[in-house]
Structures are given as C-alpha cells and as structure tokens.
Structure 1
Amino acid sequence: MLENFPFYLAIILVILLLIMLADKIKVAYPVLLVLAGLAISFIPKVPVIQIEPDLIFFIFLPPLLYEAAWAVSWKEMWRWRRIITSFAFIVVFLSALSVALVANYFIPGFSLALGFLLGGIVSPPDAVSAGAILKFVKVPKTMSSILEGESLLNDASSLIIFRFAMIAVATEQFIFYKAAISFSWMVFGGVGIGLAIGWLFMKAHKYLPTNANVDIVLTLLAPYIMYLIAEEVHSSGVLAVVSGGLLLSNNRHRFLSSKSRIQGVNVWESLSFILNGLVFMLIGLDLPQITSGLEGVSLTTAIGYGVLITFVLIVSRILSAYGAVIVTLIARNFITVADRRHPGYKTPFILGWTGMRGVVSLAAALSIPVYLDNGNAFPQRNLILFITFIVILLTLLIQGLTLPYFIKKIKLDNIYDPVSPEEATVILKRDLAAHALSYLKTTYEDQLESNASLQQLISKWEQHSKGIEDESIGKELKTIYLDLLYEQRQWLISRNKEDQNIDESVIRKQMYYLDLEEEKLIHF
C-alpha cells in the first residue's frame, strides 16, 4: 500500500488535470477519465489496481448518494414522481428483462437466472455521467430533475434484481412469495431505517451543543451509518441513504446554522468531486484484472457479446421512454397527472439516450463470488465482468459523446418550464423585498420614526439592494435584521411549497444569500 502511495497521488493529479481539460474542450469528464485509466493500465510496470466491491459499496456509494439526495429538489421529485418511479423501477426492470432474454438466447451457457443477474448489473444508468454532460448544454429544468430523481432510485432497484438473481443462480430455484416478502422488506425497511436514522441525526444537530465542524462531521457519518445498518438487516442500504438524505435535506434550515450550511456545501462539493473522479479512473485502471480472468471464450467473441448487450440496453431504454409517455397519455384520462401537455417525440428520445453506465454496475459485477456455496465455480463470472466493462465503456463513448450533439440538434421544447431561472430570480427578489418591507413596517412600526438605522435599512430594501454595504451596524439593528433574515427564510420555504413555477434551485440561491448575510452580521 505505502510503496504505491506516490502512484495514487499521481493518479489524483491526473484526474484534476483531465477534469480541467474536459471543461476546456466541453467533453464529459467521465469519458476522459475512463479512457485515461485504460491508457495508464497499459503502461509497463504500472501497479495493478484491483477494485474491491466493498470499496465501492461501503466507501464511495453512500456519500455520493447522500450528496445527490441533498442536491435534488424534493418538490420537483414529487411533481414528476410518476415518470421518475417509472424510469427508476419499471424501465430498469424492463431493461434487465430484455438483457436476460437476449443473453439466454444468444450467449452459450447463460441460463435465464444468469441473464437476470447480468441485467440487474448493467440496467442502472449513471447519473454522474449525464450530469457532467448536461452541464455543457441547455436543457429544460424538468429533464434534469427527472434524471436526478431517477438516479437516486435506479441503483436500489437494479441491486434488488441483482440480489434475487444471485439467489436464483446459487439455489437454482425462485420461490415467488419469499421473493415478494424479501422485496417488500428491502424497499419499506430501507426507507424506514433511513427516515428513522435521519430523524435521530436531525435531533442530534438541533439539541446537542454542536458547532459547524461537528455538524459537518455528523453529515459525513450519517450516510455510512444509514447504509451499514440497513445492509446489516438485509434491507436496501441505497434506499436508506436516499430517504434519510432527503429528510435531512428538506429540513436543513430547521437544525443547521447558517455557518454549518455554508461550510457544508463547500465540503460536500469537494468530496463528491474527487470521489466521482476516482471511481471513473478506477474503471479504466481495472481492465487488466478483468481481461486476465477471461477464459473459455475468445476476446473477439466476448467483445461481440458486450456490443450486443449494449445495443439491447440502448434500444430497450428508448422504447421504454416512449412507452412511459404512451402510458401517461392514457392514464391522464383517468387520473390527474403532473402535467397534461404532450411531451412530443423529442423529450422521450433524449431521456432514453441518457443511459450511460458507471461504477455501480462494475462494483456489482465484481461482487459476484468466485465460488458458490457448494464449492463449484460461479458460472460465467469472468464473462459477466467483461461484458459489464464493455457496456460501461461503449455507453460512455457512444452516448456520452453524442448526447450534446443530439440535444443541440433536436432543440428541445421548453414546455414544462413556464418560468425561466432568470425570470424566476427577478420575480423572487422583487417579492422577497416586498415581503421584507411589509414585515419591517408592521413588526417595528413603533421604531420607524426614532431609529435612523432602521430607516436606512428600509430605504435600502426599497431600492432593491442586495444587502447592507456598511458593515458597521449597531447591536439593536443587528437584532432586527437577524429577525428579518429568519422571516425571509420562512417566506422562501413557504413560497417554494406554494409556487410550482419557480425552480427550487432559485429558492436555494436566495437561501444561500441569506446565510451569507447572517454570517456577515454575526462577525461584524
């Protein structure tokens, strides 16, 4: 370990340089990192990197899921809950089913159970890749919200399929009622455990004498505790982290101080940045380990199988996307849907094309045991690993490099976003200023004539100032202004719930501004 430490430092430096290059040439950084890892793996005398599944599942996955849960908008997830759950569960299952049928028919030695095992591994798209690509192109906020929501849940659904397929392969039988009970426990148990632990952490933040550093450390511990406890009782650790993260994220202004929120954002952005970079570099570096175990089938044939499964995944996801639209159009005649307007043919295609696979798929494949409980070698393990690697590589290259072109070429209609972020910001600032003025004039009416500083504060808000420029502020006015900031936060939280036309990211920017104002007032 220590003798390779300089190599690991060099890898981190390479990751940073490649991410900067990706930003420069407008290419999604996961693509460059995987290719760079491949290239480095062919350099003579380079240390062989072996990815341990536990490293991904227990070290990388919980914080990445937790950070995503804090970043996603619960309002948008709830608004588009039907299509999000359709993609995260139904589309993932249909993709796994398609892979299972094709693998069983075309790949010698693949039973239907092994096909479902492979399908569960390669069915979940990677949200990091899609997010890195969408950063360079303009898409309706609705689409990014759907992709973000799907990414929080599809890992859980695919890993559930993977677990059941593993049991079927090992025992050579599948008992439906036991599977149904196990599935229910994994889903509802995982969500319940996540909410319970999240509630405990929320109370710890609120009632213990914590400071910003302690708060941040607690947020770092939370996803690991949620994941480990859920997995220990054979529930879904992914759903535990997601549900607990969403609970804490949605209540962050109730138990975290402004300083904890400001510093926490910086810490988590940096942590997720380096973790995402490492996992994609590791995918490329792991090629020698994967190819060395490929036996009983030629490299050309194995590549052909990987291309076939990749084609099946791409086609099945696109068809499922259009199928989801058709189902929604039919269902809207009987139930209320989030939006009754027709999405057209463009949006489903782009949603279907954003199917790049990533590190969860590789970690799941690597977690397949070498031997069954009876001592026999696990059937087709090395081939499953190799096909998984080919699927990840091809989807990143083909879909990852062409997605920006399709988005620009198709020119998506912005039918779901009635108010642009720019317009929403102007509206929100104007309404927030009006509410602030009304609150000041009503609550501190008796001080208006005698308090010159309060008059100055009111004057600044009337001029739509962004804040107090003069930091030398008296204690009395500081108390009033802190009270006003609290009132503004409550107004923004209410506005976020009531106004469906304003994107939550705009609300969060204004919340962040209020946190900065509060910190400035406290320290000056």
Structure 2
Amino acid sequence: MTGAISGGFVEPTQLFELVIVMLLAIIALHYVAHRLGLPPSVALLTGGALLAFMPGLPVIALDPSLVLVIFLPPLLMDGAWVIALGHLKRHMIGIASLAVGAVVFTTVVVAVVTHWLLPSLPWAACATLGAIVSPPDAVSARAILQRVKLPRRLLILLEGESLLNDASGLVLFRFAIAAGVTGAFSTVDALGSFFILAIGGALVGIAVGIAWVLLVRRLGDEYLMIAASVMAAWPSYLLGEMIHVSGVIATVTTGLIMGWHQHTVLSASVRMRGTSFWTVMIFLMEASVFMLIGSSLRGVVERVGGFGVVIDEMGGPILLILLALTLARFAWVFGSDVVITVCRILGLRRYAPLGSRSAAVLSWAGVRGVVTLALALSIPEGFPGRDFILVTAFAVILGTVLLQGTSLGLLIRWAGLSEPISEKARFSMSQAEAAMAQVQAKIIESRAYDDEGNLVHPRLLERYQRRATAIVDYVGQEEQYAPQLHAHFDLVLEAIAAGRAELIRLHRSGDIDEETLQELERDLDLEELSAISAKS
C-alpha cells in the first residue's frame, strides 16, 4: 500500500502514523456500529471513505496484487479452517452451481447489459467488468454471516461459495483482459485453463496441508506450532500463484486439511492460544480491508474528474448495471431451484429445493468487496473503459455492502427460516455431552481400583459418575433445567470472581510472586471459560 501527496510518496513514519490512525478508527467504528446495531462492515466502509476526504491526509493508492497477497490467503484460510467438511461435501453441487455457474451467468448478463448501455465499449471490456463484479466476496460474506443466524444448508452454501468463487472470477478476468489486449478469445481454452488451475491448486493445497501436519507433529514448542499454523496460508497461496495454478483453491484446500487434522495434532493449549491470536489477527484484517476500500474512494473519484462527472455521466449506467447484477443472481438461484423441483417431479429426489424464502435470502447475500476492487485496480493502463470499470466496481461494492449488508438481517427475520429435520445433526449438544460423559465415567471406573480390588480414586470416581448421571438426566429436559443450570453457573462465576479478587490482593500485598499469580489466574480463566460455555 502506498500513498501519494502532490506526486510524492508518503514517508515511512507518515505511513506508520496512518496505520495507527486506521487501527484506532477501526476500534471506534466497531464501537459505533455495535451501539447503533449496524453491520461493522458498513461503519468501516463509511468511516474509511470519510477518512479519505479529511484535509491533510494523503490519497491512498492500493497495490492490487499486494492487497490480495496480504489479506486474501489468511481470510480464505480462516473460512476453510472452521467450515463443516461433511456438509461441504454434501452440498458441493449447490456450491459449484453458485461458485462457477452463477459467476459465469452473472458475467454474461453484466457484459450484455453494459454493451447495451454503452455500445462503444468493446465486448472484452464489458466482459472484464462482468468478471470483476460477478463473484461475491469472502471477506464481505463472513462479515455479514457472523451477525445472522441461518439454517445450516444456507450457511454452508454461502460459505462454500465465498471460498471458491474467486477462482472462477479470476479465470474469467484474465481471459477477458487477454481478449481486450489481443482481440482473441477461446471458450475451450478458458474451460481447459479453469480445470488446470483448479486441479493444480488443489494438488498444491494438499501438499502444503500434508507438510503442515507432518511439521506440527514434530515441533515441540507451542509457539512454533502456532506460528507454523498462522503462516501456512501464505505459502499455499504464493506457491500456487508461482506455478500458475489457483492460489485461492490451494489456500482453501490447505485450510480444509488443517481444520480436519487440528483436533488431533494440536494440543488444547495450542488451540486456545492460537485461536485467540488468530481471531484478533483476522478481526484486524477484515476491518482493515473495509477501511482500505473506503479510503481508496478519493483516488477513484479524483481520477475520473470528481463526483460531478461520476453522477452526471456514469450514474445512470452504473445503477442499471447494479440492478442487472442483483437480478442475475436472483434469476440463477431461483432458476436452479425450479430445476431441482422439476427433477424431483421426474423422480430424481436426491436434492431438495430451497424454497422461495431461502432462495430470496441466498440471492440477496451476494455482497462484493476486496477482490472486486483489487481486480478493477489491476486493469492495465490504456485498457478500453478502464475508468468506467473502476468507478462501477467501486459503486457495486458500496451498493451491495451498504444496501444488502444492512438489510440482510431484516430479510432473514422476515423469512423466518428454520433448520430442516434432514439437515439437523443426529445428536444434539446435550446428547453429545452425555455420550462423552459416559465414556469418561467408564474410563475412571476401570482405573479407580488397583489390582487387588481396592478403591484408590474414590473422589474421582464419585465426581465422574455424578457428572455422567446429571448430564444423562438433562438430555431432553433442557428447558426444565435451564433456570437451575443458569443459577448454578452464576454462582460458580461469582466464586471465580471472588477467587480472582483474592488472588490479586495476595499479589499486590506481596504475599505471592508474579509466576504464582499467572499460573493460578490461568486456572481461573479456564474455569471461567468452562462455566460461561456451560451456561450458554
């Protein structure tokens, strides 16, 4: 990221000051969004745009390739790490329909509408615009999905789409740019290239994922294991791009492998510490993306001659393109649902239709973000219609984030979606806890007596048996026991707070040293987290 002032460059200290200002603004804007009940992405995008026009601040000029390399790999990795792999495989046809089919269809629709509105713009330029705005953004999707409650099928479809559709958009973009520069385009070559990029990216991701599993099993130091886990996103992406396959699919594949194996190769301590660090890092990265998008508005507007030129000369076509973009997604989603319904009528009942309300939510969730802006900024100088494409891409980001981002929650509440029985897990949370408690009790029972039959762990045996009995009794009667359960853990939390206060008093009075404070406080922290989790 570089900034320019009157043709010069920002000094390193000024750039650092800008970063600090941006981080402080992120904290303030998140607080404002929380108080006003707004999606943080909306507040951050708006705040970044306002910050860009503050007097005395430099124009923020984003290096698109650098933005993608810095932000996209860890954000893709984060989504792949936590996604339910079983559900991902179960709904892969639907995800592929959105990540490939919807992207191609939207690209064609936007290209046709753009050429109809601006006949002087070459078809290659129209296709380039379509490829830029067609894939919904993983960062934007995550920012919105974290604040809403959706049935598992819809959630998996949206998360899976956001992880994979960037690869489709990037392939279409590269071929559209090549067609604009050379005047030649081959559908066969484009399809072949896509499959090569996808398969190659998956192989790279598998290799990096396996290397990570082998590495962390041999690392004895917790901090090295956390560092290796955090760093894995960039090697997979960079290696994929280096050998000219899909870095996006490579990163996603690596993340899926890491997420599957992290339960067995990472210790509880590594997971707790690593998750805390990773969560904060992803929070700052997601927030920075929206701030940078907003901050780049000034440079985009100044490039085309100011807001007057944008509104007077580009406003009408841009609004119609945004409308076509939105309607294209609705048409694809609802059309796919109609196809599934017809197939069921004909006897092919493997897939169930979403239904109109779920389809409406899925259609409205196509928010664009950093990938759209980075692709627009990477268009070569002198490319036909570059300024119009850049402004339209920015308008699409603003329109989808501000409009769809603020109204998606309302649409979901209106739809009143519920989890279908077929999508629900076979065991509920309390049933899973009961199964674990019974297995643990059996282990304790088998080891509670010595070889001569004497009971050597009476308290441990009593504790685990009592816990297993209580949890089994709780299954199916959650609502009845809820008030008693809450009262129990409220008291536990009060006891923990009292113990913490006493621990701090002992330390400040000089009765215990720093090491004792840290060890006992860590025990209290784990006990508090366990109580909060059990209460919720």
- Give TM-score scaled by structure 2 length: 0.80
Deviations 1:127-165 (A, max 9, x none): 433443344443323222221111111111111111111
Q: What is the aligned partner in structure 2 of residue 398 from structure 1?
A: 403
Inter-partner Cα distance in structure 1 for 2:223 and 2:422: 38
* Cα distance, 1:227–1:163 mapped onto 2, change above 3 Å: same
Q: Secondary structure at the match of 1:293?
A: helix
Does 1:224 find its partner at 2:234?
A: yes
**Equivalent pair of 1:142/1:416 in contact (CA under 8 Å):** no
Match of 1:304 among 298, 316, 322: 316
Does 1:236 find its partner at 2:263?
A: no
Inter-partner Cα distance in structure 1 for 2:424 and 2:454: 40
Deviations 1:197-245 (A, max 9, x none): 1111111111x23321101111222111111111111110000000111
Match of 2:160 among 133, 138, 149: 149
Paired residues for 1:125-274 under 5 Å: 125-206=136-217, 208-274=218-284
Deviations 1:293-337 (A, max 9, x none): 226993222222221211111111111111121222234456563
Q: What is the aligned partner in structure 2 of residue 462 from structure 1?
A: 468
Match of 1:320 among 329, 332, 339: 332
Q: What is the aligned partner in structure 2 of residue 281 from structure 1?
A: 291
Match of 1:410 among 412, 415, 439: 415
Residue segments in structure 2 that go unaligned for 5+ positions in a row: 1-11, 472-484, 486-491, 493-525, 531-536
Paired residues for 1:466-477 under 5 Å: none
Q: Secondary structure at the match of 1:298?
A: helix
- The amino acid across from 2:277 in the alignment is V
Residue segments in structure 1 that go unaligned for 5+ positions in a row: 371-376, 470-512, 518-524
- The amino acid across from 1:304 in the alignment is G
**Equivalent pair of 2:168/2:194 in contact (CA under 8 Å):** no
Q: Structure with the greater relative contact order (CA < 8 A, sep ≥ 6): 1 or 2? A: 1
**Equivalent pair of 1:433/1:464 in contact (CA under 8 Å):** no
Does 1:95 find its partner at 2:106?
A: yes
* Cα distance, 1:194–1:138 mapped onto 2, change above 3 Å: closer
Inter-partner Cα distance in structure 1 for 2:234 and 2:280: 18
Instruction: Identify which range, 7-16 or 171-180, moves more after superposition.
Output: 171-180
Match of 1:388 among 375, 384, 393: 393
Match of 1:431 among 420, 432, 435: 435
- The amino acid across from 1:133 in the alignment is I
Inter-partner Cα distance in structure 2 for 1:187 and 1:273: 29
Kindly name which structure, 1 or 2, has the bigger radius of gyration based on alpha carbons. Answer: 2
* Cα distance, 1:428–1:32 mapped onto 2, change above 3 Å: same
* Cα distance, 1:417–1:40 mapped onto 2, change above 3 Å: farther
* Identity fraction in percent: 33
- The amino acid across from 2:392 in the alignment is I
* Cα distance, 1:187–1:420 mapped onto 2, change above 3 Å: closer
Inter-partner Cα distance in structure 2 for 1:186 and 1:443: 54
* Cα distance, 1:413–1:96 mapped onto 2, change above 3 Å: same
Inter-partner Cα distance in structure 2 for 1:288 and 1:418: 46
Q: Secondary structure at the match of 1:369?
A: coil
- The amino acid across from 1:312 in the alignment is A
Aligned residue pairs total 463
| Cα RMSD after superposing both structures | 2.7
